[in-house]
C-alpha cells in the first residue's frame, strides 16, 4: 500500500517536469519577487542599522530563505480539491482503495520535491551570488531546518486541504481560497517577519498556525532563534501539525456524510 502512495509522489514529480512553461515562469517570478523585496527592504532600512532586531543582511537572508522555502511548501491543493468537489470527480476518488486526503498530500509533496530540487537549490545558489546573504555554517542548523521545512509543508498543506474541503459546504469558495493565500503570505512572515508586527498583532499571531509555516523555520535558519529555544520552536510546529488534524478529520467526516446524502 505504501508503495502506491509513494508512486503518487513520483507521478506528480514527473507531471511537474512536463509543465515546462510553469517551470521557467516560476524561476523568473521568484527571481523578481526576491529582488523586489530586497530593494523594498533596503528602502525601508534607509540608513538605519537594525530594525526589530534584524540587521539588513539578516533581513536579506531571511527574505531569500523564506521565498525559497515558499517554493517548496507552496501548492494548490486547495484549488485541486475544490475543483474535484465541484465537478464531482471526488466521488470517483472515494471508491478507490486509498485515503483521498493522504493521496492529495503525497501529490503536494511530489510537487514540493520537484521545486526543491529543480528550483530551490539552483535558485538559492543564484541568490547567494547576487545578494549579500549569509548562510549558517553549522550542519546541525541545516539538518534542523530541513526537518522544520518539512513540517512547514505539512502545515501549509493541511491549511490548503481545509480550505479546499469547504467547497463541500459552499457553492463557490474562490474568495476564501484567495483570502487564504494572502493570509498565509502575510501572517506566515514571508512578506514581513512577525517581529515587525505591532505588539497586538504579533500576540494574535502566537495563537495562529501561520507562523509555523515560514517565520519559525526561517528564524532558526538565520540564527535569530537561540539554539536553546530551537527545540521549543520545533515543538510548536509539531503541535500545530497534530492540532490541525482534528478539524480536517471533522470536516472530512461531515463532508462525506453530506456526499452520501446528496450524491456527487
Residues that bind other proteins (CB under 8 A): 10, 13-14, 17-23, 25-26, 29, 32-33, 35-36, 39-40, 42-46, 48, 51-52, 76, 83, 118, 170-176, 178-179, 181-183, 185-186, 191-192, 196-198, 201
The full DSSP string for 123-141 is HHHHHHHHS-------HHH
**CA distances from residue 197 to 11, 50, 194 in whole angstroms, order as listed:** 41, 15, 5
Nearer to other proteins, 172 or 227 (CB): 172
Rounded to a whole number of angstroms, the minimum distance from the CB of residue 141 to other proteins is 27
Nearer to other proteins, 130 or 146 (CB): 130
Rounded to a whole number of angstroms, the minimum distance from the CB of residue 149 to other proteins is 20
Rounded to a whole number of angstroms, the minimum distance from the CB of residue 165 to other proteins is 15
In angstroms, the CA 76 to CA 205 distance is 24
Nearest to 134 by CA among 58, 215, 48, 53: 58
Hey, how many other C-beta atoms are within 10 angstroms of the C-beta on 136? 16
Nearer to other proteins, 19 or 249 (CB): 19
Nearest to 127 by CA among 54, 213, 185, 65: 65
Nearer to other proteins, 195 or 238 (CB): 195
Nearest to 210 by CA among 181, 230, 235: 181
Rounded to a whole number of angstroms, the minimum distance from the CB of residue 178 to other proteins is 6
**CA distances from residue 27 to 20, 116, 152, 198, 231 in whole angstroms, order as listed:** 11, 12, 21, 33, 33
Nearer to other proteins, 170 or 254 (CB): 170
In angstroms, the CA 163 to CA 165 distance is 6
Rounded to a whole number of angstroms, the minimum distance from the CB of residue 29 to other proteins is 4
Nearer to other proteins, 192 or 248 (CB): 192
Rounded to a whole number of angstroms, the minimum distance from the CB of residue 139 to other proteins is 28
Whose grid coordinates read 476564501?
A: 176
Nearer to other proteins, 2 or 171 (CB): 171
Q: Do residues 78 and 160 lie in contact, with contact meaning Cβ atoms separated by under 8 Å?
A: yes
Rounded to a whole number of angstroms, the minimum distance from the CB of residue 211 to other proteins is 15
In angstroms, the CA 215 to CA 195 distance is 9
Amino acid at each position: 500500500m505504501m508503495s502506491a502512495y509513494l508512486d503518487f509522489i513520483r507521478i506528480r514529480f514527473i507531471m511537474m517536469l512536463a509543465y515546462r512553461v510553469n517551470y521557467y515562469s516560476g524561476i523568473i517570478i521568484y527571481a523578481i519577487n526576491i529582488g523586489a523585496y530586497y530593494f523594498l527592504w533596503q528602502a525601508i532600512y534607509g540608513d538605519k542599522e537594525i530594525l526589530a532586531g534584524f540587521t539588513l543582511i539578516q533581513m536579506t537572508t531571511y527574505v531569500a530563505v523564506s521565498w525559497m522555502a515558499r517554493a517548496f511548501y507552496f501548492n494548490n491543493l486547495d484549488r485541486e480539491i475544490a475543483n474535484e468537489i465541484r465537478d464531482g470527480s471526488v466521488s470517483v476518488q472515494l471508491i478507490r482503495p486509498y485515503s483521498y486526503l493522504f493521496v492529495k498530500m503525497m501529490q503536494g509533496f511530489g510537487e514540493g520535491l520537484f521545486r526543491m530540487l529543480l528550483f530551490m537549490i539552483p535558485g538559492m545558489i543564484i541568490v547567494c551570488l547576487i545578494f549579500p546573504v549569509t548562510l549558517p555554517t553549522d550542519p546541525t542548523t541545516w539538518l534542523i531546518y530541513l526537518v522544520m521545512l518539512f513540517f512547514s509543508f505539512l502545515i501549509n498543506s493541511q491549511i490548503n486541504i481545509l480550505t479546499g474541503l469547504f467547497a463541500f459546504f459552499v457553492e463557490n469558495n474562490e474568495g476564501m481560497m484567495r483570502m487564504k493565500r494572502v493570509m498565509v503570505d502575510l501572517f506566515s512572515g514571508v512578506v514581513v517577519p512577525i517581529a515587525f508586527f505591532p505588539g497586538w498583532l504579533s500576540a494574535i499571531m502566537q495563537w495562529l498556525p501561520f507562523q509555523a509555516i515560514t517565520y519559525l523555520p526561517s528564524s532558526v535558519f538565520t540564527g535569530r532563534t537561540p539554539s536553546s529555544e530551537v527545540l521549543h520552536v520545533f515543538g510548536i510546529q509539531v503541535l500545530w501539525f497534530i492540532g490541525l488534524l482534528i478539524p480536517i478529520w471533522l470536516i472530512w467526516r461531515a463532508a462525506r456524510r453530506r456526499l452520501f446524502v446528496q450524491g456527487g
